[in-house]
Amino acid sequence: MLPQETILRKRNGETLTAEEIARFVDGFTKGEISEGQVAAFAMAVWFKGMRREETVALTLAMRDSGDVLDWSDIGRPIADKHSTGGVGDNVSLMLAPIVASLGLAVPMISGRGLGHTGGTLDKLESIAGYNIMPDEALFRKTVREAGCAIIGQTGDLAPADKRLYAIRDVTATVDSVPLITASILSKKLAAGLETLVLDVKVGSGAFMTDLVEARTLARSLVEVANGAGVKTTALITDMNEPLADCAGNALEVIHALDFLKGRKRGTRSETVTLALAAEMLLSAGVVSSSDEGLLKSQESISSGRALETFGRMIASLGGPADFVERPWAHMPKAEVELVVEAPQAGVLTLCAAREIGMAVIGLGGGRIVPSDTVDHSVGFTDFLPLGTKVENGDIIARIHARDEASAARAREVLLGSYRIVEGRHMPRPAVVEKI
């Protein structure tokens, strides 16, 4: 069938066969189908949608456009987690070593920052020597010996996704649920997973600001991943304020170390991370209940096993052997620190989390265009959680910047991002629901 016939059928709202979809994906991966035709296909999907079986077929075709990793020699359950992205969301840095220390193998393929959200790879590149693009031999060695490895997507994994995403990015079709689903899952399935847990963010700092939209995406991801043969569940989690008490690459790495040293107990970050860890362990059959998974995850932190696993992963992928003990010896530190004080007494009741993410980019901690150089040292620390009662002059955050001017601009953005009023604040649950 000609590519234009496939486009026509989807434009008319017809259901495409798995064979049609596979041929189309193969054609645009090999460059035999023009960018205009791929763009037309993406727009047709945006308008007409896809049935579940079509999205499964698209996901599998994109997975099979490149290498599919085989971990049968590892001898551990192969598991991973994916987040749809948020501000101060450094969960992967803690989660991977926690569950790896408890018997899972976690070959985590991560990404860079997208829009206002921070990227796990940008955080790890704060660490001197850390190799986010190892060859397959080193990737396998790290997973085998440390239990986890967090790296970037190689050109051999789901190359169809790279081409399709680049076209979606410039044709206003990024927010199609079937295309988002296939993009996320094709990479995860190419990593050879047996189980997957999804963290779908909702709120002012998430791509899905509405709970109905978040549920729609979560259900699509869960149904398609399970349909493709990977046991999958999702947690919808709140992103109406930064998840960690900081935002910025090196600063979030420090937060992860503090977390793994047991210094972030009772926080929203702990609630989300341990809930995802329990879900990963339960899905992989390592524990028989979520409560058992939570207990084992807490023990992994208190015993130091999770921290030790993190250190082994860093060293195996080229980072310093003493990184856990001396992190600031191996990461850049901002020249300027500026405190942000509450302008009045009251309760922190609202936070425009997206604006905080954009403020990190404004400091130089993210990219406006892909070619931008990231300043890994800048960002914010010591955010107070919503619901905190403050007095006039109390410190509500600290800015870490390359110069006084950028720090002053960030201060204005931050003050404009918070609402301080008299009265009470009803806290939102960190974990909204499970799908």
Note the pLDDT of residue 113: 60
Residue 164 lies in a domain: no
Q: Is 80 a catalytic residue?
A: yes
Give the span between the Cα atoms of 86 and 83, in whole angstroms. Answer: 8
pLDDT exceeds 90 at position 371: no
Q: Is 82 a catalytic residue?
A: yes
Note the pLDDT of residue 85: 85
The DSSP annotation for 126-193 comes to TSTT--SS--HHHHHHHHHHHSEEEEEPPTTS-HHHHHHHHHHHTTT-TT-HHHHHHHHHHHHHHTT-
Q: What is the CATH number of the domain that holds 370?
A: 3.90.1170.30
- Domain-terminating residue out of 304, 327, 350: 327
- What's the structural domain count of the chain? 2
Confidence of residue 147 (pLDDT cuts 50, 70, 90): very high
My answer on whether 200 and 284 are in the same domain is yes
CA-angle at 92, arms to 278 and 104, nearest 5° = 50
Q: Quote the distance between the C-alpha of residue 163 and its chain's center.
A: 21
My answer on whether 364 and 235 are in the same domain is no
- Domain-terminating residue out of 298, 327, 356: 327
Residue 210 lies in a domain: yes
My answer on whether 297 and 202 are in the same domain is yes
My answer on whether 211 and 254 are in the same domain is yes
pLDDT exceeds 90 at position 265: yes
The predicted-structure confidence for 104-130, as pLDDT tens digits, reads as follows 999 998 876 656 667 899 999 999 999
Residue 41 lies in a domain: no
Out of 10, 23, 63, 81, the active site residue is: 81
Residue 36 lies in a domain: no
Out of 80, 199, 238, 245, the active site residue is: 80
pLDDT exceeds 90 at position 208: no
Confidence of residue 62 (pLDDT cuts 50, 70, 90): very high
Out of 63, 123, 187, 376, the active site residue is: 187
Note the pLDDT of residue 175: 80
Give the span between the Cα atoms of 15 and 26, in whole angstroms. Answer: 19
Out of 23, 82, 255, 296, the active site residue is: 82
Out of 10, 63, 123, 168, the active site residue is: 168
My answer on whether 311 and 359 are in the same domain is no
Q: Is 120 a catalytic residue?
A: yes
Out of 59, 120, 142, 297, the active site residue is: 120
> What's the mean per-residue pLDDT of the chain?
93
My answer on whether 244 and 346 are in the same domain is no
Once rounded to an integer, what is the mean pLDDT over residues 73-87?
93
Residue 46 lies in a domain: no
My answer on whether 107 and 196 are in the same domain is yes
pLDDT exceeds 80 at position 155: no
Q: Are 234 and 434 in contact (CB under 8 A)?
A: yes
Note the pLDDT of residue 387: 92
Note the pLDDT of residue 239: 94
Out of 6, 59, 83, 126, the active site residue is: 83
My answer on whether 233 and 283 are in the same domain is yes
My answer on whether 281 and 354 are in the same domain is no
Residue 104 lies in a domain: yes
Q: Are 341 and 395 in contact (CB under 8 A)?
A: yes
Q: Is 231 a catalytic residue?
A: no
Residue 50 lies in a domain: no
Out of 63, 112, 116, 188, the active site residue is: 188
Note the pLDDT of residue 162: 84
Q: Which residue has the higher pLDDT, 278 or 365?
A: 278
Once rounded to an integer, what is the mean pLDDT over residues 181-203?
93
My answer on whether 323 and 356 are in the same domain is no
Which residues constitute the domain of residue 201? 79-154+188-327
Q: Are 171 and 43 in contact (CB under 8 A)?
A: yes
Note the pLDDT of residue 160: 93
- Domain-terminating residue out of 327, 357, 376: 327
Note the pLDDT of residue 202: 95
Once rounded to an integer, what is the mean pLDDT over residues 322-331?
98
The predicted-structure confidence for 8-22, as pLDDT tens digits, reads as follows 999 999 999 999 999
Q: Is 183 a catalytic residue?
A: yes
Residue 139 lies in a domain: yes
Note the pLDDT of residue 157: 86
Q: What is the CATH number of the domain that holds 257?
A: 3.40.1030.10
Per the DSSP assignment, residues forming a β-bridge with 340 are 397
My answer on whether 142 and 103 are in the same domain is yes
Confidence of residue 170 (pLDDT cuts 50, 70, 90): confident
My answer on whether 86 and 198 are in the same domain is yes
Q: Is 187 a catalytic residue?
A: yes
Q: Are 270 and 98 in contact (CB under 8 A)?
A: no
Residue 372 DSSP class: P
Once rounded to an integer, what is the mean pLDDT over residues 374-381?
95
Once rounded to an integer, what is the mean pLDDT over residues 153-161?
84
Give the span between the Cα atoms of 143 and 147, in whole angstroms. Answer: 5
Confidence of residue 173 (pLDDT cuts 50, 70, 90): confident
Confidence of residue 263 (pLDDT cuts 50, 70, 90): very high
pLDDT exceeds 90 at position 373: no
Q: Is 81 a catalytic residue?
A: yes
